[in-house]
């Protein structure tokens, strides 16, 4: 059940769009929303010896939060403002206060943002034990009718509750489930492959779903092309091993999915 949603806010236009998406989701789930904003001290100019007062930064953040609340005057939110790095603050708040879902936006697909700086959303997708919903720049809320789950079928499912989490989420949404698996070529489909697939289907028995296989030499591109063609509303992935093919476990590939998905990405861990 989703009753408490934590939304990361940096006061950018995209974070406001992310909040609008979260509001629609909260209405669907009858959930409460808490807004969290973090700030860090800017680089100090050691030549002048100037250190910005923390109190001033707190007040500035509070003023921006109040301005945001005025823009959404028809809604009621709890608010939290803390000093610290965004991902760390969001994780700390989410775990301490028992949130069911974290919602954050993601922007930028350029070299600097993606390859060097990274992203709060990406950091959360790797570290958060709480499900994280990542909203891309151009995503607009609509009824969630079809959810894709990028998954490998493997016998480690006997030690995992991931498929149960996916089942619960999809049923809670009232959506169709499509399981997508990427293979490099037809040579990957052998007896062992078939055995693992049958084992996976046994674990998924009773969960209405369709299973699709995509042939592509790059797993992330295969999945991204799939959700575009199939017009999926959400994509579920797990950044941990055991849920995507091994080449998808590489940090760069997982990051490509998070940064380039045209639809919201829900990351969940085992």
Structural domains of the chain, with CATH: 4-135 (3.40.50.620), 146-267 (3.40.50.620)
Greatest Cα pair distance in the chain: 70
Q: In the chain, which residues have pLDDT < 50?
A: 111-117, 241-249
What the block records as the tokens of 87 is 């991902």
Q: Give 119's contacts (C-beta < 8 A, 6+ positions apart).
A: 106, 108, 113, 258, 259
Tokens 């005025």 belong to 70
- Asked if residues 91 and 43 have their Cβ atoms less than 8 Å apart, the reply is no
- Asked if residues 172 and 144 have their Cβ atoms less than 8 Å apart, the reply is no
pLDDT at 45: 57
Q: At CA 91, angle to CA 146 and CA 116, rounded to 5?
A: 80
pLDDT at 116: 41
pLDDT at 61: 92
- Asked if residues 240 and 267 have their Cβ atoms less than 8 Å apart, the reply is no
From residue 120, alpha-carbon distances to 42, 128, 130, 259 in Å are 18, 11, 15, 11
Please tell me what DSSP assigns to residue 154.
Answer: -
> pLDDT of 35-47, one tens digit each?
999 988 765 555 5
Q: At CA 187, angle to CA 185 and CA 191, rounded to 5?
A: 130
pLDDT at 192: 74
From residue 21, alpha-carbon distances to 134, 137, 190, 237, 264 in Å are 11, 11, 43, 20, 10
């Amino acid at each position: 059940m989703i009753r408490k949603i934590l939304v990361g806010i940096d006061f950018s236009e995209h974070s406001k769009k992310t909040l609008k998406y979260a509001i629609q989701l909260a209405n669907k789930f009858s959930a409460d929303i808490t807004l969290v904003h973090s700030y860090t001290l800017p680089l100090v100019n050691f030549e002048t010896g100037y250190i910005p007062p923390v109190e001033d930064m707190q007040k500035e953040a509070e003023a921006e939060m109040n301005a945001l609340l005025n823009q959404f005057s028809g809604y009621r939110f709890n608010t939290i403002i803390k000093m610290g790095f965004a991902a760390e603050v969001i994780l700390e708040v989410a775990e301490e206060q028992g949130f069911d879902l974290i919602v954050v936006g993601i922007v930028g697909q350029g070299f600097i943002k993606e390859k060097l700086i990274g992203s709060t959303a990406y950091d959360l997708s790797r570290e958060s034990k709480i499900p994280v919903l990542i909203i891309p720049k151009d995503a607009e809320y609509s009824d969630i009718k079809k959810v894709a789950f990028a998954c490998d079928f493997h016998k480690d499912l006997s030690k995992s509750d991931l498929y149960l989490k996916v089942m619960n989420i999809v049923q809670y949404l009232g959506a169709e489930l499509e399981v997508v698996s990427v293979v490099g070529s037809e040579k990957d489909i052998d007896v062992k492959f078939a055995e693992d697939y049958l084992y996976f289907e046994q674990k998924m028995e009773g969960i209405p779903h369709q299973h699709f296989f995509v042939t592509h030499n790059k797993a992330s591109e295969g999945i991204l092309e799939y959700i575009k063609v199939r017009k999926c509303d959400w994509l579920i992935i797990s950044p941990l091993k055991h849920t995507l093919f091994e080449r998808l476990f590489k940090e760069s590939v997982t990051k490509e999915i998070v940064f380039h998905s045209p639809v919201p990405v829900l990351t969940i861990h085992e």
